[in-house]
Amino acid sequence: MENCIFCNIASGRTQARLIYQDEDIAAFKDLNPQAPTHILIIPVKHIASLSEAAEEDALLLGKIQLTAAKIAKELGIKDFRLVANNGKGAGQSVMHLHYHLMAGRRFLWPAG
Ligand code: AMP
Ligand code: ZN
């Protein structure tokens, strides 16, 4: 989708500090990290938010979670938080589905 920053990153039109890429998924460092490790994991396909995902995306959503675990393992990270903000009211600022993989500090619960 044009004018979507994460579509542009996934297609290589916009540069990012890529951690992982395949035909379905891209992962790159967050521009404004909120933890020592802060990586965004996105589907290459434009899905605005988790609310917009469909049954046909089930495999893709599962693959994103498995990729998060794989990236963490490769980085030697045992404890991490995986977060998807869904909707502006929940803090979503980029309307292309993304999961925050965060690690390296203490996280509070419940999340703020
Ligand atoms: P959210 O607020 O959940 O929508 O998260 C959006 C995240 O995208 C924020 O943590 C931003 O720092 C990050 N972000 C926005 N633009 C870029 C970019 N061009 N490259 C990397 N991270 C970005
Ligand atoms: Zn997009």
| Ligand 2 centroid to residue 99 C-alpha, Å | 13
- What's the CA dihedral at 16, 19, 20, 26 to 10 degrees? -40
| Ligand 1 centroid to residue 59 C-alpha, Å | 24
Catalytic positions are 98
Nearest CA to ligand 1 atom 1: 92
Residues 83-107, mean pLDDT to the nearest whole number = 98
Angstrom distance (rounded) from CA 50 to CA 37: 23
Closest ligand to the CA of 1: 2
- Tens of pLDDT, residue by residue over 38-71, are 999 999 999 999 999 999 999 999 999 999 999 9
Q: How confident is the model at residue 112 (pLDDT cuts 50, 70, 90)?
A: confident
Contact criterion met (CB below 8 Å) for 3 and 41:
no
Nearest CA to ligand 1 atom 3: 92
Domains of the chain: 5-103 (3.30.428.10)
pLDDT value, residue 15: 97
Contact criterion met (CB below 8 Å) for 87 and 49:
yes
